[in-house]
Amino acid sequence: MTATDTDAVAPSLSRLDADGVEAIHDAAMTVVADIGIQVRHERAQRLVEEAGGRVDADDVATLPREVVVECVARAPSEFTLHARNPEHSVTVGGDGPPVRAPGYGADSIQSFSGERRPSTLSDYEDFTKLAQLEDVVTCVGFDVCEPTDIDREARHVRMLERSLTLTDKPVMGSTRGEAHAQACLDMAAIATEEPSLSRPVIAGLVNTLPPRGIGTEMLGALLAYAEHGQPVIVSSFTMPGASGPRSFAASLAQANAETLFGIALAQLCNPGTPVVYGLPLARVDDQHESLSIGGPASGLFASVTAQLGRYYGVPTRAGGGLTDAVTLGHQSGAESVLAQAVTALAGVDFVLHSVGVLDSYGAVSREKFVLDCETLRALKRFREGISVPEEGINVERIASVDPAGHYLGAAGSDDDTGFRPRIAERRPHRAWADGTRGSTFERAHEYVEERLAAYERPPMDDAVERRLRSYVEANLP
């Protein structure tokens, strides 16, 4: 069998054929052009009308198909999200590895002791430090956990202040309205010393409001980010059978319409604004009437997101370490690894909720955070593949050992087997039984404690930090 033959029989992660992609696109265009998306924001409505669209008395807006297609074509196929430390800047899109950010929006912490409690600013600091320490987390994200011990109107500046000072990796900011978004844009401009925001330094997650709507606060934030040329991650969190039709295909078409409408608005505001296309659909479990993000559906939606993103020529976003499990165990590991693997190998460009997630986004766990990072390091090694030297395989190395011998301890520089887990157990039973018999969960806890104890804050110019602190204090309620 030739190499070409083996490539031909390799399984594909694409779950739609070309006709399926076209059908979803065509249905979405019908929704955008004929049925409409509710847009209750005056400036957004003006942009629609100026582009040749219409807004009815119920604030339902339609845009001509050709306008949407032209707008999406204006978005770059890849862009760089710059960190205050240039060594940590990342490319979103293209052929490189996915950009990965932690969980987003949980208001509860699942502790090592088994306690479920409200999250605090101290928790947020711990997760931010872990994001700085773990090499596979390449974007700090935002709202890794929702600090319930500080005023809601102060959270966005307090959280972003931590993201910008405790790390030097790329960041995301708040999208809870134009004012919150503008404050985050101002803070990122100070920290990265980009007063004119002439390049992407902060991204915002804009979720639509299915069925067929985009909330007023999100629209205000979307336009604020777009006006300054900062990336917007536009996603429709549609739940088939609840906020979308029960059919996966129909829900994908609806979600696609909402996401494309948001991308079009960003381009109408500021052509060339970097965008990321997301379809993070999730099922509702019929038995328990609860949100379900674990299982094969998450992988299916990630795969389709990657396909449709390639169809439109824009970077894509999907989930990563997703699970419905409320505690760490087989279920949380199995569900997360399935979603992580599909997301990593299907061609998704930006992975939100990549680490730490439990209970269908309801909680985050420090131990789950580092265990998910271990999975990502294994997937990174898998993605690197097997190296075959240009000069050919060294058969003399094969011949250097007699039959029934071994290569243990043999000298050589061509060892590329290397993946050494930091947490997972590899000791045989006798060594485990004679030594420390800790579980994987316990080792993960110990690893977290060791990492946080070794944390060192990355440097920041004193004058920059003073300006940032002054801005924060001036913008507290």
CA distance 148 to 136: 28
* Residue 437 maps to a domain: no
* Residue 418 maps to a domain: no
- pLDDT for the residue 262: 98
Instruction: Name, in order, each residue with C-beta under 8 angstroms of 102's C-beta and a sequence gap of 6 or more.
Output: 127, 130, 131, 137, 140, 141, 144, 353, 354, 355, 356, 364, 369
CATH number of residue 131's parent domain = 3.20.20.480
Q: Is the pLDDT confidence value at 435 over 90?
A: no
Query: CA dist 404 to 393, 398, 408, 410, 411, Å?
Result: 21, 12, 12, 15, 18
Site of tokens 């404690």: 449
Tokens coding 181: 């978004």
* Residue 323 maps to a domain: yes
* Residue 389 maps to a domain: no
Give the pLDDT confidence of 388-417 residue by residue, as tens digits.
888 889 898 889 899 988 888 766 555 556
Instruction: Give the structural domain span for 233.
Output: 73-379
Q: Decide if 266 contacts 226 (C-beta within 8 A).
A: yes
Higher pLDDT, 342 or 10: 342
What is the arithmetic mean of pLDDT over 458-472?
Answer: 98
> If we measure between CA atoms, which residue out of 294, 299, 359 comes closest to residue 322?
294
What is the arithmetic mean of pLDDT over 196-211?
Answer: 98
What is the arithmetic mean of pLDDT over 84-92?
Answer: 98
Q: How confident is the model at residue 418 (pLDDT cuts 50, 70, 90)?
A: low
- pLDDT for the residue 426: 78
Bridge partners (DSSP) of residue 317 are 278, 350
* Residue 355 maps to a domain: yes
Question: Whole-structure pTM over 0.85, yes or no?
Answer: yes
What is the arithmetic mean of pLDDT over 300-307?
Answer: 95
What is the arithmetic mean of pLDDT over 145-164?
Answer: 96
Of 17-26, 224-233, 288-297, the range with the lowest mean pLDDT is 288-297
* Residue 25 maps to a domain: no
Q: How confident is the model at residue 7 (pLDDT cuts 50, 70, 90)?
A: very low
- pLDDT for the residue 9: 44
- pLDDT for the residue 412: 58
Q: What's the number of domains the chain is made of?
A: 1
What is the arithmetic mean of pLDDT over 239-252?
Answer: 94
- pLDDT for the residue 433: 77
Residue 318 host element (H or E)? strand 316-319
CA distance 150 to 289: 32
* Residue 405 maps to a domain: no
Q: How many CB atoms lie within 10 A of CB 394?
A: 12
Q: How confident is the model at residue 265 (pLDDT cuts 50, 70, 90)?
A: very high
Give the pLDDT confidence of 330-367 residue by residue, as tens digits.
999 999 999 999 999 999 999 999 999 999 999 999 99
What is the arithmetic mean of pLDDT over 283-303?
Answer: 89
What share of the chain in percent tops pLDDT 90? 81
Q: Which amino acid is at 216?
A: T
Q: What is the DSSP string of 110-171?
A: E-TTS-EEE--HHHHHHHHHHHHH-TT-----S-SB--TTS-HHHHHHHHHHHHHHH--S-E
Of 331-335, 435-439, 467-471, the range with the lowest mean pLDDT is 435-439
